[in-house]
Amino acid sequence: MNSFIYVTHFTPRMIAFVFVGLSFMSALCSGTEFPTVFVFGDSLLDPGNNDYIITLSRANHPPNGIDFPNQVPTGRFTNGRTIVDIIGNEVGFTGFLPPYLAPNTTGRVVLQGVNYASGASGILKETGALFGGRIELDEQIDYFANTKKYIISILGTQNAANLIGKAIFTVSMGSNDFLNNYLIPILSEPKRALIPPDVFVDKLISKYSLQLTRLYSMGAHKIVVVNVGPIGCIPYVKDILNLGRYGCLEIANQIVQRFNERLKDLVAELSTNLKGSLFVYADAYRIVNDIYTNYKRYGFDVPDAACCYLLGHHGGILPCGPGPVKVCADRSKYIFWDAYHPSEAANVIITRRLLDGDKNDIFPMNMRQLLRA
């Protein structure tokens, strides 16, 4: 079922930035108004920012991107498109939001939006330190402050404020604060002995509240906050923390659910207290858990193992390259691309639920409704 795949040729990643430019020019010529989008997150949404920093958390090598246009390994931690890419394509944006750190992210392309997401990053500064470089959420927001100044230099203060006020801000953080901080095997045991889960969750929510409020103070009004998925079910956790056993690691999922409950309350509180704001709570946990539990209904054959792997009962011990790895023959049948991240097939289903889902999936409105709000 599996075979070794070696990709030795790929089109330069600049093609993705060309798509962005062409899409923006097409919008100008046709009069179509695409929404400006700013993205903050971790490796689930990283479009290649980590390619430009010194870090162990990189995906700019094959077989990552094997199903991306022209089989380009752009730094996305999946076989194809991320959720943000798919949402953009679904609403009519033919390109992809550029990574903030890419040298091509300049000029009027920035007016379409920028992606600041970075693999291994978290809400807390110390999260992901084992990987070396990463752009934590505070720094991502600092980068947005730079972008805002740049937009003002192009459009002027009032027009820039109008653009940012109508823009969609998507923030997806927290997974690494558990996986690569509080739940690190062996290394984090002293921390867990001193800091109970509820105290750690309180710390995360307190910090996250400041960060989201800061975005609002910089002009962000439409903010989608994505909660943390069922990390106890990913191949890495099943092999490293659950020791290869079948079933999910419930302790990890229970901690995440505590965080998500507090996050939902925080989103409601910010919506009430921050005048003119429109916060949307996206329940990725519910969506991914449903896909995982009812995988056959969604067309998957393998719910609990990585498509790209080298070691581990679930393929969760090592990342997807660089170097020789095994890749499943049919990526569309796997929920997980690698030890941590969904396949493009799973991302497509998650995207549909975020775009058109009911209030159980995304509250108080879905992404398509938010675009019209």
Q: Kindly list the catalytic residues.
A: 43, 338, 341
Closest Cα to residue 117, out of 83, 153, 162, 159? 83
Q: What backbone torsions phi and psi does residue 327 show, to the nearest 5 degrees?
A: -130, 130
The residues near 88 (Cβ < 8 Å, ≥ 6 apart) are 37, 95, 96, 97
Note the residue count of the chain: 373
Phi first, then psi, for residue 152 (nearest 5°) are: -60, -40
| Tokens (6 digits) for 223 | 């903010």
282, burial (CB in 10 Å: exposed 0-12, middle 13-18, buried 19+): buried
Sign for the pseudo-dihedral over CA of 16, 306, 57, 37: positive
Q: How far apart are CA 149 and CA 76, in angstroms?
A: 27
Nearest to 284 by CA among 118, 45, 95, 37: 45
Identity of residue 348: V
Cα–Cα distances (Å) from 172 to 144, 154, 351, in that order, read 15, 28, 14
Q: What is the DSSP letter of 339?
A: S
Bridge partners (DSSP) listed for residue 123: none
